Amino acid sequence: MLRAGLLILVGGFGLILFLIPLVDSLGGNLGTTAFVFASILELLLLLGAWLFGPYRYGGSWRTLGFRAPVRGTAALPWLVLLASLLLASVYIAIVSAIGLETLEPPSLPTELVESNMDRLAMFVLVVVLAPLAEETFFRGFLLPVLVSRWGFLWGAGLTSLLFGVTHGALGMIVPAFVTGMLYAWLYYRTRSLWSCLIAHGAQNSLAFVLTFLI
């Protein structure tokens, strides 16, 4: 787990040092740099989960949760999605009411999307790649390790805290933490990462539609 985290940290800093000068020298813009950086970071999450999970111990992607959900749990991803949206709305209402705008979750970066191709790239990143990489790393890889060591509540709490912090915005820590706890419960209730991917992908899809298509 620590080695996977180190891989991602070192890779992230390496990207910062390498990508910005490279994109500048090629005449690229900030949007291109941000998209490439975010995409490679998500791929590093997948790589870390695979290298220090199934690959190291001779398993398969199934050991990371890519298996059929428990029967009778098909509706749970949608219930978790509704709960996440409701709790996020309550959080936003509270911080807005007390005037803490800095704690409000940021919207998707519309200033980085200037064309239909940019919009398509953003869709792939936000709706497909991010849920796949983040659920594989946090729920499929980290969560079982921490739960086996400290129990579900503490293991899910630490995983969800890391999930919130890695979103990179102060206003995302609390909502992402709460959502992470819901996804952790969903994973252990359904025994399948596919359930988490459905909930996560649907939530990101909704954010994308509200930001770019309405």
SS3 88: helix
| Per-residue pLDDT at 62 | 93
Q: Which amino acid is at 45?
A: L
Mean pLDDT (whole number) for 193-214: 93
Label residue 30 by pLDDT band (50, 70, 90). low
pLDDT in tens, 6-19: 888 877 777 767 76
What burial class does residue 179 get, using C-beta atoms within 10 Å of its C-beta: 0-12 exposed, 13-18 middle, 19+ buried? Answer: buried
H helix or E strand, kind and range, residue 2: helix 2-25
Radius of gyration of the chain (CA): 18
Mean pLDDT (whole number) for 176-183: 97
Scan for tokens 């941000």, then name that residue: 34
| Per-residue pLDDT at 9 | 81
Please tell me the pTM assigned to this model: 0.92
H helix or E strand, kind and range, residue 187: helix 170-190
SS3 49: helix
Mean pLDDT (whole number) for 37-52: 90
SS3 102: helix
- Residue with the bigger pLDDT between 161 and 211: it is 161
Scan for tokens 């060591």, then name that residue: 149
Mean pLDDT (whole number) for 182-190: 98
Mean pLDDT (whole number) for 35-56: 89
Which among 179, 35, 182 is positioned nearest to 115, based on CA atoms? 35
Mean pLDDT (whole number) for 168-191: 95
CA 152 to chain centre: 20
Which among 112, 150, 141, 136 is positioned nearest to 197, based on CA atoms? 136
pLDDT in tens, 66-97: 999 999 999 999 999 999 999 999 999 999 99
Q: Which of 99-108, 109-118, 172-181 is the most confident on average?
A: 172-181
| Per-residue pLDDT at 212 | 84
- Alpha-carbon distance of 47 to 34, in angstroms, equals 20
Please, what is the angle between helix 170-190 and helix 152-165, to 10°?
A: 140
Under DSSP, the state recorded for 136 is I
Structure tokens at 17: 């040092």
